[in-house]
Chain A
Amino acid sequence: MKKKNKIKIKINGRLINIKISTTLKDLLLTKKIPINKVAIELNNKIVNKSKINNIFLNEKDKVEIVHFIGGG
């Protein structure tokens, strides 16, 4: 049987396919997200940005990435 090498995760409400053993940092880098200007939630828990290199993503993980925009 062919081994599945892709997993599905949700990032900001959008389903995407990523490779197995992708770290959160890899994801941010591929998506070209400026790490120092965002905050990240993984499955509704805030992630310490200094640890994203050691966090591997799993099937059905929910990632939220936010930043500052104009507001009153």
Chain B
Amino acid sequence: MKKDQLIIDGKKYNSRLIVGTGKYKSFSECANAVKISGAEIVTVAVRRVNIMDTKKPLLMDYINPKKITYLPNTAGCFNSNEALRTLRLAREIGGWKLVKLEVLGDKKNLFPDMIETLKSTEILVKEGFKVMVYCNDDPLIAKKLEDVGASAIMPLASPIGSGLGILNIENLKIIRKQTKLPVIVDAGIGDAPDAAEAMQLGCDGVLINTAIAKAKKPLLMAEAMKYAVISGRKSYLSGRIKYNYTGSASSPKKGII
């Protein structure tokens, strides 16, 4: 059987779970969660170095960027210029071209500003970046992102960190059907059933941060998410039964005594 892998910009990954590295109690807890989750890609943020204390350990000391793909993000950017600046710097740190673009437009719900996002995607693609784009669950916008050269579409399930799960199943299905790009559900996943559901819809992967990092037992949740993604994917590939509104006995009638 052909190996079922997630392919982003020609690179193959065995795991369909991408893990965010924020909100953990410590770098070591974060690194353990990543390991247990089986994730091969992690998102990271770009921030100022603390020049007063450069002895503090760095994320790179715990998660080896040679083994795990770092996906720099633009979290906290509220316009195109900030996002472009952040990703150009990220590339300079060590040649990263694969990036996650998110331009937020709403401080309360953290919804993406899709006008700024679309504009930034276009510029970044022209500069040679491979852009995975956080977006609303809007099929029209998703199509436009594909048209300007995005490498992956990352629609939200619900607001970042909300744990509300998938709010618009039908839109995600439409987005999945209309594009050749990988669709990775990003933001809003609350628990393992949410992750499995995203995969059951045919999505190519999920990105999870808060649901793991802020679970009472993050490492156990990391493991749960790993299996949820595998399970949901296999279930999707296996072709579920049709909905049947009457009962259908599982045991044969023949030979009943």
Contact = CB atoms under 8 A, between A and B. Distances in A.
A11 B48 CA distance: 10
Contact of B59 (A33, A49, A70, A72): A70
Given A32-B54, A46-B92, A69 B20 contact: no
B201 interface: no
A34 B58 contact: yes
A12 B51 contact: yes
Contact of B160 (A12, A70, A72): A72
A43 B146 CA distance: 35
A57 to B, nearest CB: 14
A31 B47 contact: no
Contact of B46 (A34, A47, A66): A66
Contacts of A11: 51
A39 B86 CA distance: 10
Interface in B34-73: 43-52, 54-55, 58-60, 70, 72-73
B173 interface: no
A28 B23 CA distance: 29
A37 interface: yes
**Which bracket fits the contact residues of B?**
35 or more
Interface in B193-235: 207, 209-210
B145 interface: no
A70 B23 contact: yes
B233 to A, nearest CB: 22
Contacts of A71: 20-22, 43-45, 73, 75
B94 interface: yes
Contact of A69 (B45, B55, B89, B92): B45
A14 B53 CA distance: 13
Interface of B: 20-24, 27, 30, 43-52, 54-55, 58-60, 70, 72-73, 75, 88-94, 160-161, 207, 209-210
Interface of A: 11-14, 31-34, 36-41, 46-49, 64-72
B51 A65 contact: yes
A6 B60 CA distance: 35
Contact of A14 (B24, B51, B73, B75): B51
Contact of A12 (B48, B55, B94): B48
B100 to A, nearest CB: 9
Contact of A68 (B50, B52, B59, B207): B59
A39 B89 contact: yes
B73 to A, nearest CB: 6
A70 B48 contact: no
A70 B27 contact: yes
Nearest to A64: B48
Given A66-B47, A72-B160, 6 more contacts: A11-B51, A39-B90, A39-B92, A68-B72, A69-B45, A70-B27
B93 A68 contact: yes
A64 B160 CA distance: 28
A16 B50 CA distance: 14
Contacts of A67: 46-47, 49, 58, 60, 93
